[in-house]
Amino acid sequence: MTQPNAKLHPGLNLGHHHGEAHNQAETVVFGFWVFLMSDLILFGLTFASYITLANNMGMASGPTPADIIDLVNVFAQTVLLLVSSLTFGVASLTMRHKMPAKVTIAWLGLSLVLGLAFLGLAALDFLNMANQGAVPSRSGYLSGLWSLVGLHAVHVTAGCFWIMIMIAQIAVLGLHPIVKSRVLRLGLFWHFLDIVWIGIFSIVYLGGLL
Amino acid sequence: MSGEAQTSWLGRLNIDSLSIWRAIENPSVSEFVGAGAALVAIFGGIGALVLITWLRAWGTLWRDWLTSTDHKKIGVMYCVLALVMLLRGVIEGVVMRTQQAFGMGGGFLAPEHFSELFSTHGTIMIFFVAMPFIIGITNYVMPLQLGARDMSFPVLNQISLALTATGAALVMISLVLGEFATGGWTNYPPYTGKDFQPGPGPDYWIWAIVLSGLGTTLTGINFAVTLYKERAPGMTLFRMPIFCWTVLCASIVMIFALPPLTLAALMLAADRYLDFHFFTNDLGGNMMNYVNLFWLFGHPEVYLLVIPAYGVFSEVVPTFSGKRLYGYNSMVYATMAIAVLSFCVWLHHFFTMGQSANVNIAFGIASMAIAVPTGVKIYNWVATMYRARIRMTVPMIYATGFFFLFTIGGLTGVMLANPVISYQVHNTLFLVAHFHNVLIPGVLFGIFAGYHFWFPKVFGFRLEERWGKRAACLWVVGFCFTFLPLYALGLMGMPRRSVMWDDPAFQPFMWLALVGALTILSAVTALGIQLWVSVRNRAATACPLGDPWNGRTLEWSIPSPPPPYNFAQVPQVRTRDDFTDAKATGRAYQPLSAYEDIEMPRNTAIGMIVLIGSTLLGLALIFWIWWLAIVSVGVMLTALIGRTFWLNTTYTIPAEEIARDHQAWLAEVHAAQRITRAEETQAANRGRAALELPQGVSV
Amino acid sequence: MRNPDFKAELRAYLLGFGLALALTVVPFAVVVFGPGTQGLAIILITLCALAQLVVQLRYFLHLDLSEQKREDLHLVLFTVLLLGIMSIGTIWILGNLAIRM
């Protein structure tokens, strides 16, 4: 059990006299880690299923990775997501160091814009694939690809909505301890999605092209 | 969307979806059985509503139960849900045994209907009886054993219950609207794909599983975090009651083994709704991955169920033997070993799928290895009972039945873990006998033992002993008659899930199994009578002081039923079996020097919104009513997000109120007669135990 | 922005970002410019991915070996163990089936 005055999670600084509230925050953050790990299993097995479909049998004489992968787009998506991870980190730092709420909101807003840009590029990628007839109903391989990348995109979409909600909450409620704890968890979620993306660009895109 | 043209605003829901209408249009015995079940469901539901109205109980129900975030109330609601579903599951089992008893060359049920029966029976018994029952008991007992005020996330707990109830509701609605899947509880594609089953059946299965599975995952997170973060001061991990350890293992399974199931079901949904090709026969689909994913969940799942049942026996056996548990540490390690090993054996469910012998050998050995930690546990329980003054109460009857029958079931499991034998008896009734042999004596007997053991804690009065003993004996005997003959039938070569058969040699075993099934039905009836008798005579068996069995762990150190805040002051734990130690050293029942205000979570209607919203969402998806799906998701999201803007979610119980209740209870305790174990089942037992130490055995 | 803690922590984020970016550029370059054999490329991509995983866990998710992160670290390691069993098992089983079909 962590003592109230132990070093806190970054982004969370409730002060020494908030012992009870701090323990509560620790519990909630730990719970969120557990949730993320459960989600990681979901992603991991989607990866495993994709790998079992990414072969000649799974491609069913349909489009191959070389036909459909637009590496420039993927690289741009990767950089966008990575930069948004950084800006979110800065947002949590501004919150931890008790800077004015509007500074935090600005950095959160920047992360949101980058996340939306990522989604835009992902949508473009999906559209290009669909135009080439590379839709999930074409083959098992494409089903696997669309579902894996789509699962990630759905998570990023949820993350974007969550950022919007948190911006609204900071505006309405201020940097209340509960709001801080939520932003902290949102940060874990956002960084986690970037980690999953490492797997996607390494296995699906780069691995697919080899 | 794929499939038929959409004409109605109700999607593909129409008059032919009503099973009662089908029976009118196309009368046959099989359809009448189905329509009868639908009528029972409808009138059961209406009857419940009328009864609540007649009792003027709506306000109480809403305020004290449906909107409550109290882990104890939620636990009880889980158990009630499980009992209702148990009734349906048992009746289905009896109908199936009747069909097979008369099944030589025919029987009275249509094959489709029979398939529906075994599919719903399996789905209900696993997902809506065993799991909610285990989760319900855990919900109630675990925070009390830890010395906590509630779960870590009380509102999440309510939402988990709502999602589980949604799954159960969908399965019940399938009796009336449309039909359930016919692909077994495993729902294997491609048979359940849209090429072979375009109707709503598999969709009922998918959404019942996905929605309730989500609830179970959230429950697992809640349990694990509660175990890690809410333990009373002084309660180190190795001072936790064994039941809590088993819950930790079960929650590991809920957190990590439910995602494969959710994924498999969602991939099947993608195949059915969006024309994906994960599990189809053509265009690169691979149905074997479904089998793989399903059992990645399916095997840990049986440990999710049986490990907490082990935990119940680990509480029941020491209590009724009056000794501490033999080999606590080895019990913990065995439990953890089983939890991890359970993730390494899933392939033994499909040895015959065609992979090479080497793969089969690896998983065969891993499967046999699980018998070792399980053996350690049986040894520990028996060693606990050795030379003890054992009281043969109802939970102990279940425990004894468990020791013998579960050992048989476990040994047939070791047989099945051998791929060579598995090839011979694959998909026969031998397998059906085996898994009922571990699930009924293992899980169900554990649940019933826990039900009798903790009932007085929950409601403040004991269950009636005589009817309890009758029910327990009927369960043991009924189990033996129903399922032991199936081993023989399996070895004779009868395939499982057969609506009919034509070998006259099967007939005597079929009769035996039918007799057994009727015995089980009478056991369930006896349980019902017991509950009725107990409630009627509750004044004579009241034990409000809280410790009717000379209990060993913290839950017995508080009044029955416990107050909403559980403990007037969070206990300071010094040792394992802390309450036994406290009673022996005079720490128990001490007045407190000061009382503090206690902050508790407020009631919330969010669970009910999720229940109604997700049930409508499930129906909308099953019957392709897209506008309703969007509306229900929108309502649920709005409610959930809107709630996060509301920070005032707790209320305070004033210290004076706590002091008054606690002091009144303490005065009653000190005035009460101390009951020896010989008087345990008599009216004098109001829940104050006399100190009794077995000679030569330390506490 | 005068707070020294803030600056130090910001520098840590920037360091993590720089490392992650480098570990992203390298595998992309390997695939685009294609030096070496396919086997070598796969090894490089795998190593870069694992390294970036560690970098992001360390600098963005602040997972380290310190006492108070122990529970989170145990959780992550345990999850990786189970995920390894499940996903490697899946690929092994279905690969074996595919070879024999």
pLDDT above 50 (res A7): no
B275 part of contact set with chain A, CB < 8 Å: yes
Q: A57: which chain C residues are within 8 Å (Cβ-Cβ)?
A: 98, 101
Q: How far apart are CA B23 and CA B41, in angstroms?
A: 16
Question: What pLDDT shows up at residue B21?
Answer: 86
Q: Give the whole-number percent of chain A exceeding pLDDT 90.
A: 81
Terminal alpha carbon distance of chain A: 48
B290 part of contact set with chain A, CB < 8 Å: no
Q: At B379, which amino acid appears?
A: Y
Q: What is the pLDDT of residues B92-132, one digit of tens each?
A: 999 999 999 999 988 899 999 999 999 999 999 999 999 99
- For B649, the closest chain A residue by CA position comes to A178
Angle, helix A140-173 to helix B242-274, in steps of 10 degrees: 120
Q: How far apart are CA C37 and CA B671, in angstroms?
A: 86
Closest CB from C61, C71, C91 relative to A191: C61
What would the mean pLDDT of A166-182 be, rounded to a whole number? 93
- For C94, the closest chain B residue by CA position comes to B289
Q: Which of A81-95, A128-142, B95-109, C26-40 has the lowest mean pLDDT?
A: C26-40
Closest CB from C52, C68, C83 relative to A7: C68
B671 part of contact set with chain A, CB < 8 Å: no
Determine which of B227, B240, B263 to mutate to test the interface with A (most A C-beta atoms within 10 Å): B263
Q: How far apart are CA B677 and CA B667, in angstroms?
A: 23
Alpha helices in B493-577 (DSSP H): 507-536
**Position A22 confidence tier, pLDDT thresholds 50, 70, 90:** low
**Alpha-carbon distance A82 to nearest alpha carbon in chain B (angstroms):** 27
**Alpha-carbon distance B481 to nearest alpha carbon in chain C (angstroms):** 38
**Alpha-carbon distance B341 to nearest alpha carbon in chain C (angstroms):** 10
Contact B509, B489 (CB under 8 A): yes
Q: A53: which chain B residues are within 8 Å (Cβ-Cβ)?
A: 278, 284, 286, 289
A2 part of contact set with chain B, CB < 8 Å: no
A36 part of contact set with chain B, CB < 8 Å: no
Question: What pLDDT shows up at residue B9?
Answer: 83
How does DSSP assign B180-231, residue by residue? --SSTTTT-TTTTSTTT--SSHHHHHHHHHHHHHHHHHHHHHHHHHHHHH-P
Strand partners, C42: none
Contact B200, B12 (CB under 8 A): yes
Contact A111, A91 (CB under 8 A): yes
Q: How many residues are listed for chain C in this entry? A: 101
Closest CB from C85, C94, C97 relative to B343: C85
Closest CB from B152, B274, B296 relative to A136: B274
Q: Would you call A48 and C14 a contact, using CB atoms and an 8 Å cutoff?
A: no
Closest CB from A191, A194, A202 relative to C27: A202
Q: What is the pLDDT of residues B502-530, one digit of tens each?
A: 999 999 999 999 999 999 999 999 999 99
Q: Would you call A39 and B259 a contact, using CB atoms and an 8 Å cutoff?
A: yes
Question: What pLDDT shows up at residue A17?
Answer: 40
Q: What is the pLDDT of residues A47-73, one digit of tens each?
A: 999 999 999 999 999 999 999 999 999
**ipTM score for this prediction:** 0.93
**Alpha-carbon distance B129 to nearest alpha carbon in chain C (angstroms):** 27
Ramachandran region of residue B147, left (φ > 0), alpha (ψ -120 to 50) or beta? left
Q: B359: which chain C residues are within 8 Å (Cβ-Cβ)?
A: 92-93, 96
∠ Cα B390 B393 B398 (to 5°): 100
A-C contacts at Cβ under 8 angstroms: 115
B-C contacts at Cβ under 8 angstroms: 39
Question: What pLDDT shows up at residue C25?
Answer: 94
Terminal alpha carbon distance of chain B: 67
Q: What is the pLDDT of residues C34-82, one digit of tens each?
A: 767 888 899 999 999 999 999 999 999 988 887 777 888 889 999 999 9
Q: How far apart are CA A66 and CA A68, in angstroms?
A: 6
Q: C73: which chain B residues are within 8 Å (Cβ-Cβ)?
A: none
- For A36, the closest chain C residue by CA position comes to C76
How large is the C-alpha radius of gyration of chain A?
Answer: 20
**Alpha-carbon distance C79 to nearest alpha carbon in chain B (angstroms):** 8
Residue B667, both tokens? 């005065």
Please tell me which chains touch A, using 3 or more CB pairs under 8 Å as the contact test: B, C
Kindly report the average pLDDT of chain B as a whole number: 93
In A64-83, the residues whose Cβ lies within 8 Å of chain C are 71, 75, 78-79, 82-83
- For A58, the closest chain B residue by CA position comes to B284
Q: How far apart are CA B170 and CA B180, in angstroms?
A: 9
**Alpha-carbon distance B431 to nearest alpha carbon in chain C (angstroms):** 23
Q: How far apart are CA A155 and CA B46, in angstroms?
A: 41
Which domains does chain A possess? Answer: 19-209 (1.20.120.80)
Determine which of B292, B301, B352, B353 to mutate to test the interface with C (most C C-beta atoms within 10 Å): B292
Residue with tokens 């990575």: A82
Q: Would you call A137 and B275 a contact, using CB atoms and an 8 Å cutoff?
A: yes
Residue with tokens 């992160």: C69
How does DSSP assign B591-648, residue by residue? PPS----EEEEPP-SHHHHHHHHHHHHHHHHHTT-HHHHHHHHHHHHHHHHHHHT---
Query: Could you say which residues of chain B have pLDDT below 50?
Result: 1-5, 696, 699
In C30-89, the residues whose Cβ lies within 8 Å of chain A are 30-32, 38, 41-42, 45-46, 48-49, 52-53, 56-57, 60-62, 66, 68, 71-72, 75-76, 79, 82-83, 86-87
Determine which of C71, C85, C97, C100 to mutate to test the interface with B (most B C-beta atoms within 10 Å): C97
Q: How far apart are CA B670 and CA B95, in angstroms?
A: 54
Closest CB from B153, B217, B286 relative to A140: B286
Determine which of B355, B363, B367 to mutate to test the interface with C (most C C-beta atoms within 10 Å): B355
**Alpha-carbon distance A170 to nearest alpha carbon in chain C (angstroms):** 21
Q: B221: which chain A residues are within 8 Å (Cβ-Cβ)?
A: 31, 34-35, 38
Phi, psi (deg, nearest 5) at residue B491: -65, -30
- For A176, the closest chain B residue by CA position comes to B647
Question: What pLDDT shows up at residue C33?
Answer: 86
A115 part of contact set with chain B, CB < 8 Å: no
The B-side interface with C (CB below 8 A) comprises: 228, 256, 260, 286, 288-289, 292-293, 296, 340, 343-344, 346-347, 353-356, 359
Question: What pLDDT shows up at residue B131?
Answer: 96
∠ Cα B447 B448 B449 (to 5°): 90
Q: Give the whole-number percent of chain C exceeding pLDDT 70.
A: 97
Question: What pLDDT shows up at residue B158?
Answer: 96
Give residues with Cβ within 8 angstroms of B36, minimum separation 6: none
Three state DSSP letters for B69-100: CCHHHHHHHHHHHHHHHHHHHHHHHHHHHHHH
Contact B461, B543 (CB under 8 A): yes
What would the mean pLDDT of A5-30 be, rounded to a whole number? 56
Q: Would you call C89 and B346 a contact, using CB atoms and an 8 Å cutoff?
A: yes
What number of H helices and E strands is found in chain B?
A: 23, 2
Question: What pLDDT shows up at residue B7?
Answer: 63
**Position A13 confidence tier, pLDDT thresholds 50, 70, 90:** very low
